[in-house]
């Protein structure tokens, strides 16, 4: 008599993963999670006290994933509570508010806090990061554009998504990509697959473009100290030219940054040129030296517009 054959287990073993959310207070971390897990939006601000914990199950291809979500408080006051929870994370949601530049600028310090707390465990290649540019529904107050956010994220090998917990825009796509990448990583022996992180430009190029975009003055744009010597300035120019040349750099915004540096170089050369002319005018009595070359005439012409 034929006995029942043992049930075939078609599904691969289920996975249990830990993800955390990071970012300044009020950027929308809890609302993003709530929008995904509970399909609702809470307009009233209810600050997370320390940590909120939740579990959800998702299906990625033929695997069941049990996700433990640790939603961290962004307020500095809760640092002592947060720091216990960084370890053993496979995924990190890094959230900023597109209407608040300081929340975007703070992303580096969030990574810093995480690395510090993880200590020797800090192997960032074994963690999937997703950057959420949140509150994109509030278009009028937006101050950090997509190019800038994407550049910061992708140059570090992180995913980038534009999200709105209020309208739901980007939320499901973001979580699907997040969980799918974590699954890929686990199946890849705990290493983030390389193909995902190669974007064709380096972190140095991305950081330089960002610095040039936000530079307060010419020194800042060149990345030298105020009052730097001519040699230091020339060296900085050469470095930027190599780093940002459009033939070599495909990072978004590189062309504008290259043009800005080129304009500054043109201006510096012309001012130097003009000073040479003035000094030769003062020194010489010859009427020929009083005529200006085309570079000087161009800058005189330009200055007439201001």
Ligand X SMILES: Nc1nc2c(ncn2[C@@H]2O[C@H](COP(=O)(O)OP(=O)(O)OP(=O)(O)O)[C@@H](O)[C@H]2O)c(=O)[nH]1
Binding footprint of Mg ion on the chain (CB under 5 A):
29-30, 48
Write down the least CB distance from residue 29 to Mg ion, Å: 5
Q: Which stretch binds ligand X (CB under 6 A): 9-17, 71-79, 81-89, 176-184?
A: 71-79
Write down the least CB distance from residue 48 to ligand X, Å: 3
Write down the least CB distance from residue 175 to ligand X, Å: 14
Q: Which of 18, 63, 75, 115 binds ligand X (CB under 6 A)?
A: 75
Terminal Cα distance for the chain, rounded: 100
CB of 205 closer than 8 Å to CB of 244: yes
Q: Which of 26, 64, 146, 220 binds ligand X (CB under 6 A)?
A: 26
Q: Which of 15, 20, 36, 48 binds ligand X (CB under 6 A)?
A: 48
* Closer CB to ligand X, 164 or 183, in the complex: 164
* Closer CB to ligand X, 99 or 253, in the complex: 99
- Tell me the C-alpha to C-alpha distance, in Å, between residue 105 and each of 24, 54, 175: 10, 28, 23
Contacted by 234, from ligand X, Mg ion, none: CB < 5 to 8 Å by type: none
Residues that bind ligand X (rule: CB under 6 A) add up to a total of 25
43 contributes a contact to ligand X by CB under 6 A: yes
Contacted by 15, from ligand X, Mg ion, none: CB < 5 to 8 Å by type: none
* Closer CB to Mg ion, 50 or 147, in the complex: 50
* Closer CB to ligand X, 106 or 185, in the complex: 106
* Closer CB to Mg ion, 51 or 60, in the complex: 51
Write down the least CB distance from residue 149 to ligand X, Å: 14
Binding residues for ligand X restricted to 79-138, rule: CB under 6 A = 134-135, 137-138
Spatial strand order of the sheet with 63-72 comes to 51-60, 63-72, 15-22, 91-97, 128-134, 159-162
Contacted by 31, from Mg ion, ligand X, none: CB < 5 to 8 Å by type: ligand X
How many residues are there in the chain? 306
Q: Which of 11, 38, 39, 42 binds ligand X (CB under 6 A)?
A: 42
Write down the least CB distance from residue 49 to ligand X, Å: 8
Binding residues for ligand X restricted to 154-213, rule: CB under 6 A = 164-166
Q: Is the dihedral of CA 268, 274, 277, 279 positive or negative?
A: negative
Binding site for ligand X (CB under 6 A): 23, 25-31, 42-48, 73-75, 134-135, 137-138, 164-166
């Amino acid at each position: 008599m034929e006995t029942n054959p043992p049930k075939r287990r078609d599904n691969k073993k289920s996975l249990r993963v830990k993800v955390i959310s990071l970012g300044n207070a009020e950027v929308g971390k809890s609302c993003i999670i709530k929008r995904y897990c509970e399909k609702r939006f809470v307009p009233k601000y209810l600050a997370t006290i320390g940590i909120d914990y939740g579990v959800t199950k998702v299906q990625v291809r033929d695997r069941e994933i049990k996700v433990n979500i640790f939603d961290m408080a962004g307020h500095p006051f809760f640092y002592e509570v947060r720091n216990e929870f960084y370890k053993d994370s496979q995924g990190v949601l890094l959230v900023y508010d597109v209407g608040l530049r300081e929340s975007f600028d703070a992303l580096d310090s969030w990574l810093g806090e995480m690395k510090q707390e993880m200590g020797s465990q800090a192997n960032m290649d074994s963690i999937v990061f997703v950057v959420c540019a949140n509150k994109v529904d509030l278009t009028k107050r937006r101050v950090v554009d997509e190019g800038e956010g994407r550049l910061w994220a992708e140059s570090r090998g992180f995913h980038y998504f534009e999200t709105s917990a209020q309208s739901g825009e980007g939320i499901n796509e973001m979580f699907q990509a997040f969980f799918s990448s974590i699954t890929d990583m686990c199946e890849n022996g705990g290493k983030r697959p390389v193909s995902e992180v190669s974007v064709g430009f380096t972190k140095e190029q991305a950081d330089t473009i960002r610095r040039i975009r936000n530079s307060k003055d010419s020194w800042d744009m060149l990345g030298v100290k105020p009052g730097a010597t001519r040699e230091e300035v020339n060296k900085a120019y050469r470095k930027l030219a190599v780093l940002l040349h459009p033939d070599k750099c495909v990072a978004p915004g590189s062309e504008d940054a290259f043009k800005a540096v080129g304009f500054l170089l043109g201006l510096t050369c012309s001012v130097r040129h003009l000073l040479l002319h003035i000094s030769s005018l003062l020194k010489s009595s010859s009427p020929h030296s009083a005529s200006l070359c085309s570079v000087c005439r161009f800058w005189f012409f330009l200055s007439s517009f201001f």
